Structure 1
């Protein structure tokens, strides 16, 4: 329950993204798993030393993503996640496996002793880059129960980025959040339309008013706009923390430190 305790504090927690290099079997894979692990742990150390509040490990370099990636991805993410856990044993840690491999993420989190997952397609259907993603809450929570992983929290994206939501155009983001809460999500994640695109601050207010569970911002947070999101329980930051603010680059220690110094002042 480490992240939930953190989110209950009167401040906006900062969660950094550890983007593992392209994993074995994916089109851009070029590194041995040992080197992928070393790079992920180095990023985690940078975040830890700058004072971030938590981390999410993600296979973002596995382009193009596929629905239900193979067992080799689950195995590799378990190895990477367990290594990051050893590197940062005191930080709340989560995992996301693209695309929409939420049951696999639960299995990885249990095996690697992580605290939570970030889930795509928890409630309602949408059309993503990878195709149609259908709601998974019922099956996901039953799977979590079956494998004894009820200590793993689920933070669910709503109206997620890189997706078309015409199928649910008559369902507001607030209603989507309420549905996720009803279906037992531990928190919801609000994003912009794409990676590095900011979420709408008005939607943050709507969602915060609509639900009692934590609300996280999942894209587009920068040093310049973070004030817009201080009412969120947490901000998840990937792109801004990278060199030149581009998601595919390595983590920039100076950007992380500058951001954390800034948000500590805002919390005072």
Structure 2
């Protein structure tokens, strides 16, 4: 029995991404449409995901491209407003992810009552965003300082668009991450959003940390979900739920229903 059952209500949980459009301060923010439009699009996606039967949702500033590793205050403020306006309509457990800033993700969780955050908490990477450093000791102390100690931490140990600077295999990373940091879950990803997570990589991680929740973090689709969930304890899914399976599109409730029907059949 894992915490997924307590917090989300089921094992083999599907956490669906609610991708927010560009926000104030982002290069592609549509000023003429403003925040009301961003909120309306988030509302549509949230309802499509919930009505389609997902187990949980995670709000992220997915379209704040290109990403920062030290996120600006205006981004967190905008995300808090969106979640605040949708709060009475959120019917499933939810988490947040302020890309790519662990402390800001925790700030947003504390402000909104999110149950979990997903972030890059550990490691040093060569990435599309430059040299990407972390400070997990400071991040966890910040979590306790702001009263967010009950927020579950989903550690992404294979960040998208980045490579670990040290020459370490995935088993070493998984084992030391669990030993040193006690993550609530490890997330294993493909190269970019929507790219399939390597099944062998998932299996190697799960084998060395059998008592830790391991999530397939990208690329779980209708065609491979049984295969992925036979190894992973759950999945974080975004692109698969969108019209035509395209990252930039809105959520298609029919794709969500078809996917979740298959998940429920697999679970039973």
Q: 2:177 aligns with which of 166, 180, 186?
A: 180
TM-score normalized by the length of structure 2: 0.92
* Cα contact 1:192–1:219 (8 A) shared by 2: yes
Deviation at 1:8, TM superposition (A): 8.4
The equivalent residue for 1:96 is 97
RMSD in angstroms over aligned alpha carbons? 1.8
The equivalent residue for 1:123 is 122
1:228-247 to structure 2, matched below 5 A, reads 228-230=227-229, 231-247=231-247
Deviation at 1:179, TM superposition (A): 2.2
Q: Which stretches of structure 1, 4 residues or more, deviate above 6 A after TM superposition?
A: none
Moved more, 104-113 or 204-213: 204-213
Deviation at 1:83, TM superposition (A): 3.2
The 1-side partners of 2:63 and 2:84 are apart by 19
The 1-side partners of 2:4 and 2:78 are apart by 24
The equivalent residue for 1:149 is 148
Q: Give 5+ residue unaligned stretches, structure 1.
A: none
Deviation at 1:174, TM superposition (A): 2.0
1:74-93 to structure 2, matched below 5 A, reads 74-89=76-91, 91-93=92-94
TM-score normalized by the length of structure 1: 0.92
Deviation at 1:2, TM superposition (A): 7.2
Q: Would you say how many aligned residue pairs link Structure 1 and Structure 2?
A: 262
The equivalent residue for 1:114 is 114
Please state whether the residue corresponding to 1:17 is helix, strand or coil. Answer: strand
1:38-77 to structure 2, matched below 5 A, reads 38-77=40-79
Per-residue CA deviation, residues 76-125 of structure 1 (Å, 9 max, x unaligned), is 11112233432114x12111111x211111011111111111012x2221
Q: Give 5+ residue unaligned stretches, structure 2.
A: none
The equivalent residue for 1:194 is 192
Q: 1:7 to 1:187 in 2, by over 3 A?
A: farther
Per-residue CA deviation, residues 148-205 of structure 1 (Å, 9 max, x unaligned), is 110111101012221123x222x11122122221212111100112221111111111
The equivalent residue for 1:16 is 16
Deviation at 1:17, TM superposition (A): 0.5
